Structure 1
Amino acid sequence: MIIVGVVALVAWLWLAATRFWRTDQRLPPRRTPATWPSVAVVVPARDEAGILPETLPALLAQRYPGPLRLILVDDGSGDGTADVARALGGGRLTVTAPGDRPPGWTGKLWALAHGVEQAGEPDFLLFTDADIAHGPDSVTALVEAAGERDLVSQMARLRTRTGWERLVVPAFVYFFAMLYPFRRVNGPGRTAAAAGGCCLVRRAALERAGGVAAIRDAVIDDVALGRLLKRAGSRIWLGLACDVRSVRPYPSLRSLWDMVARSAYTQLRHSPALLAGTVLGLALVFLAPPVLTLAGAGPARLPALAAWLLMTLTYVPMLRYYRQPWPAALLLPVTATLYLLMTVDSAVRHRRGHGAAWKGRSYG
């Protein structure tokens, strides 16, 4: 038990030193361009008729000084998404459909590729999900922050209204930042990622990298987009949003469970070895410290308590970002246990042939 406690403490000392837990990566310093570039906003939407009235009006009301075009791609919806979009757009929105999805493409990326084709030749493309609500100056802020960068991506502030959302959602972003530390993404190294809900991409850079077709089979499309551009030599940036938020509700544990489980095993490249390592790592880093602190004996408690304290302190900034009380950080081991079980369930689903499932589609 002493060895386990010491290993957990060393792991947390190293994790804390990486500063992945910092929440200070917000939009870079903004600079007004001499000439405002043209921007085409591409919104892929599948069965989003109920959510578009909460998000689409904000895009239509953007106060952007330059040329701005809005395109919604109806990705095979069966709930009248296109009709709702046209009614809300009032002629200011292009509503289109990509047709049948070719083999080897995921639905969202096929919709994005069609939207890019419809956009023509704008200077920038803004890929944003149908559940994302933008502030009135969101496009302006993204363009001003872009500078010489080819990708500026903001992780939208997710909804935290229900008890389950408050327990699970901040940890989701915390774990994402642990996998893809924002500072490293924004630096010159190989670490790359993006947040699919809000990605401003320089069109020319995307074309040089091979376009959307280069990642057509990606299930975790935002990370794939960040990698594609960075490997092609582009400067990219990823951070937390202040004026961009998701309105999609996750009212139950089941809905949150499905959100994580549908792609967790894909993140592990469908590798049983990586799955075993992840389960062991989560157990050692997140579960062992509180278990040894509360149930251990003698000298094992001291390093375990120190590890739990470090874990708690690194989680507090994310809770503050989500306006949650800091004592909730003590529950991070509980949330980590849920994520461990979600990851295992993701592998079980894949084993049963369900793959990554979203709105009636499943990818092996």
Structure 2
Amino acid sequence: MIWIGLAACLAWAVLLFGRGFFWLARDDDSDAEGLPEPAIWPAVCAIVPARDEAETIAATVRGLVMQDYPGPLRIVVVDDRSSDGTGELARAAGDGRLTVVTGTGKVAGWSGKLYALQQGLRAVEAEAHEFLLFTDADIAHAPDSLRRLVARATSDDRDLVSLMARLRCDSAAERWLIPAFVFFFQMLYPFRWSNDPRASTAAAAGGCVLLRRTAFEARGGLLPIKGRIIDDCSLAALVKQGGSRIWIGLTDRVRSLRAYDDLGTIRAMVVRTAYAQLLYNPLILLGMVAALSLVYLAPPLLAVFGQGWARGLGLLAWGAMALAYAPMLRRFGLSPWRGLALPAIATTYLAFTLASARAEWAGKGGLWKGEPLSRE
């Protein structure tokens, strides 16, 4: 029991001091207003893949139309066989800069979202845009969002700049589980490491990714990652491995409109990608179960049922866990005392991950809008 407690404390020491201080949640765009702006604003094309997004597409398009961006801006919405009038709603919300592309069925080997993006790229391949903005159909952009993204890319010489949209945190399920989603993402991909050109870590958030077109096309565009389910981080790795500088940060300028009103909707979000994160490898899955059990479950169990030193070590590790989670809770306006529930939250995400593996084994993994990945 004591050895388990020591191992848990060591694990939390590594997480607190050896993962780029991810838990402080300080890697954000709070410095955006002070970034130098380019003398000439480059042309940008925003591409929005959309399938059955009637609830949010109008707000997304209006947010892009209302950008205060000083340079040329083109907007392309790819209506991927929607059955709810997504394309018509997008047209009604847009202006002369908007084109709605009617998507076709994807080909084997492509994930649904990436093939929708590919069709948007084909629609503008003859046009001259220095930057591409990939953004989701459930994302609301503040009026200065694009201007700040381009300023960061040009002033810092970054070929990819991504903002992790502020996720909705209104329902009870969202308040308990969504901050942890962002916390776990940063733990896996410390933003400070991703932003360091000397580190191999590469991360992006698919809801908002600005790309320098020359660097993107030099890597082969979307073709090298066409079948990836975790397309955002795959794209970041592709760009960074080519020697480019990338940047990702938290933000309040870009917000997700997607509602996760109950446990089931959050479960579906995680199930889609969790096993892909583990490279579809059952041995890695077993290792992940063991690691989560040590890091998140052992501390409270030792604190409650242990004796002497074992109990003390369990309390210490549990306290470190709550301390690490507190900054993320504050970003979402929640009490840091919720950090004491992180073991239960981690157990819930573990259950989601196991469900993701079961879905893949059943041939139902990687669904995008209910459509599975067609493998070559």
TM-score calculated relative to the size of structure 1: 0.98
Q: What's the CA shift string for 1:246-281, capped at 9, x where partnerless?
A: 010010101101110111011101101000000111
SS in 1 for 2:23: coil
Q: Is residue 2:68 matched to residue 1:63?
A: yes
Select the residue among 89, 95, 102 that pairs with 1:97.
102
Select the residue among 162, 168, 174 that pairs with 1:153.
162
Other-structure match for 2:259: 249
**Cα separation, 1, equivalents of 2:315 and 2:263:** 29
**Cα separation, 2, equivalents of 1:90 and 1:197:** 22
Structure 2 contact 50–86 (Cα < 8 Å) conserved: yes
**Cα separation, 2, equivalents of 1:57 and 1:313:** 40
**Cα separation, 1, equivalents of 2:363 and 2:194:** 33
Other-structure match for 1:10: 10
Select the residue among 62, 78, 86 that pairs with 2:83.
78
SS in 2 for 1:239: strand
**Cα separation, 2, equivalents of 1:348 and 1:248:** 25
| C-alpha deviation, 1:81, in angstroms | 0.8
| C-alpha deviation, 1:41, in angstroms | 0.6
Q: Is residue 2:116 matched to residue 1:114?
A: no
| C-alpha deviation, 1:97, in angstroms | 2.2
Other-structure match for 1:302: 312
TM-score calculated relative to the size of structure 2: 0.95
**Cα separation, 2, equivalents of 1:123 and 1:319:** 38
The share of aligned pairs that are identical, in percent, is: 49
Consecutive unaligned residues of structure 2, counting only runs of 5 or more, are none
Within a 5 Å distance, the mapping from 1:131-150 to structure 2 comes to 131-147=138-154, 148-150=157-159
**Cα separation, 2, equivalents of 1:48 and 1:122:** 26
Consecutive unaligned residues of structure 1, counting only runs of 5 or more, are none
Within a 5 Å distance, the mapping from 1:1-364 to structure 2 comes to 1-17=1-17, 18=19, 19-27=21-29, 30-119=35-124, 120-147=127-154, 148-187=157-196, 188-363=198-373
Structure 1 contact 121–203 (Cα < 8 Å) conserved: no
Structure 2 contact 73–97 (Cα < 8 Å) conserved: no
SS in 2 for 1:358: coil
**Cα separation, 1, equivalents of 2:55 and 2:206:** 20
Structure 1 contact 56–88 (Cα < 8 Å) conserved: yes
**Cα separation, 2, equivalents of 1:33 and 1:237:** 18
Q: Aligned-residue CA RMSD in angstroms?
A: 1.2
Structure 2 contact 65–95 (Cα < 8 Å) conserved: no
| C-alpha deviation, 1:15, in angstroms | 0.6
Count of residue correspondences: 364
| C-alpha deviation, 1:90, in angstroms | 4.0
Structure 2 contact 113–368 (Cα < 8 Å) conserved: no
Q: What's the CA shift string for 1:186-207, capped at 9, x where partnerless?
A: 0121111110000000000001
